[in-house]
Amino acid sequence: MEIAHAHVDMGLVCISRGRLESMGLGEIKETATHEVSHMIYADHGTEFHRTKNKSSLMIWHQSHEPPVLSEEDLRKIALRKPKGTCNELSCKRRGKLKTCEYCKRFFCETHAKPRMALILNQVNREKEPMRSKLEKEYRRGDGHPDYQFTQFRWQRLEDEETETNEIFDTFLDKSKKIDYRSKPSNNRRSWESPVPKRWSWKMLFKQATLVLAATAIYIAISSGSWMPNEREPQTTLLFNTTRSPTCDQAGLTLTSVVYNEQNNSFVVTVANIGILDLANFWIKGFDPIGSYAVLTPPDSDVILVPGDTRDFVLQGPFVLQPIIQLQAMNQQCPQIVSNVCTYSGTVYSC
């Protein structure tokens, strides 16, 4: 890519203004020696490179030779404000000028304040919040870019970020600093005491709400009420039963009558039968509309002994007040059948 070109007939080297402003001193010297050598040799031959090397060597000698000082050079000459234009390349405004305290150059009132000399790559390499601050400096329209001010301002921004991080670390109690001023006798490290917490009514209310919520969740999980599709079967018991006088005559006693909702069945336990055995054993009761629902055993003429249990399957709707009827017969004379023994009571759920 061509940076500049030489006019041999006029003895001039042409380069764009924007390109020249973006170049450093070393690039300017390299481009100047290259184009001046082209005024003598048009091609890039051996003589061209030899001439270019000699020109570069002469420039280096001039910049590194020891200076010669005289008494006039040692006199302090006051800095005078030029009567020319503003030193900002994009301004060139004439008039009253001000001196920059960092670079000691002269600028108009618009460009008198210094700003950081940055490129976009420098801004993008930093992390937040440093990146936002540098981007704000990069997009400033006033002032002039100053390299001396850039170093000072950059260091100041880093110090501010460090101070902010230390304040936040102290507030959040994340950093614990070791106190080396006094050495304990047991050779243990002494840490700075943490900042005590300040409780408020809002924090106490929040803690109490969390405790109550955790307790409610624990009770719901323990009781199983949070599982609507997996409801545990409820067992319904028959309490407060009354029996007819026939039951006393037959010596028949029921120890428990249990209803299970899971399979809609009654479990009846018989205790004392005496000399009578059961010929028929059934359960009657009222359903919600008042009709009878009969529970019968799988087979008839069931003979039970004390302590036996018998399952009865529900043949109709569940009854609220069942009436249990047992028909007993004489063990010695099976043809003689006693009157019906009736148990009745109220059903409760547990």
| pLDDT surpasses 50 at 236 | no
5, 36 Cβ separation under 8 angstroms: no
Token representation of residue 301: 């003429």
Least confident of 2-11, 17-26, 220-229, 230-239: 230-239
For residue 111, give every residue at least 6 positions away whose Cβ sits within 8 Å of its Cβ, in sequence order, or none. Answer: 86, 88, 91, 142, 143, 144
Quote the mean pLDDT of the chain.
68
User: What does the pLDDT read at residue 317?
Assistant: 41
Q: How do residues 255-264 score in pLDDT, each as one tens digit? A: 566 666 565 5
Closest by Cα among 155, 332, 346, 103 to 238: 346
User: What does the pLDDT read at residue 349?
Assistant: 40
Place of tokens 């570069």: 56
116, 149 Cβ separation under 8 angstroms: yes
What is the rounded average pLDDT of the residues 263-289? 50
With b meaning 16 or more CB within 10 Å and e meaning fewer, what string describes 203-241?
Answer: eeeeeeeeeeeeeeeeeeeeeeeeeeeeeeeeeeebeee
Q: How do residues 99-134 score in pLDDT, each as one tens digit? A: 899 988 888 888 889 989 888 888 888 888 888 989
Q: How do residues 187-234 score in pLDDT, each as one tens digit? A: 444 444 444 555 667 777 788 888 888 888 878 776 655 555 544 444
292, 313 Cβ separation under 8 angstroms: no
Token representation of residue 227: 């599982």
Identify the burial level of 124 via C-beta atoms within 10 angstroms of its C-beta, where 0-12 means exposed, 13-18 middle and 19 or more buried: exposed
Ordered structural domains, the chain, with CATH? 4-61 (no CATH), 98-165 (no CATH), 235-349 (2.60.40)
Q: How do residues 134-183 score in pLDDT, each as one tens digit? A: 998 888 888 888 988 999 999 999 999 888 888 877 777 655 554 545 55
User: What does the pLDDT read at residue 114?
Assistant: 92
User: What does the pLDDT read at residue 23?
Assistant: 86
Q: Left if phi > 0, otherwise alpha if psi is -120 to 50, otherwise beta: which for 78?
A: beta
SS3 state at 114: strand
Length of the chain: 350
Strand partners, 260: 235, 265
User: What does the pLDDT read at residue 303?
Assistant: 47
User: What does the pLDDT read at residue 275?
Assistant: 43
Other residues' Cβ atoms within 10 Å of the Cβ of residue 167? 10
Q: What Å distances lie between residue 330 and 68, 278, 308, CA to CA?
A: 150, 9, 19
Alpha helices of 85-146 — where are they, by DSSP H?
120-125, 130-138
CA distance 219 to 214: 9
CA distance 157 to 130: 7
Tell me the percentage of the chain whose pLDDT exceeds 70.
Answer: 48
Peptide bond into 66 cis (omega under 30): no
113, 143 Cβ separation under 8 angstroms: yes
Least confident of 9-18, 169-178, 337-346: 337-346
108, 87 Cβ separation under 8 angstroms: no
Q: How do residues 280-307 score in pLDDT, each as one tens digit? A: 444 544 343 434 344 444 444 444 444 4
Q: What single-letter DSSP state applies at residue 195?
A: P
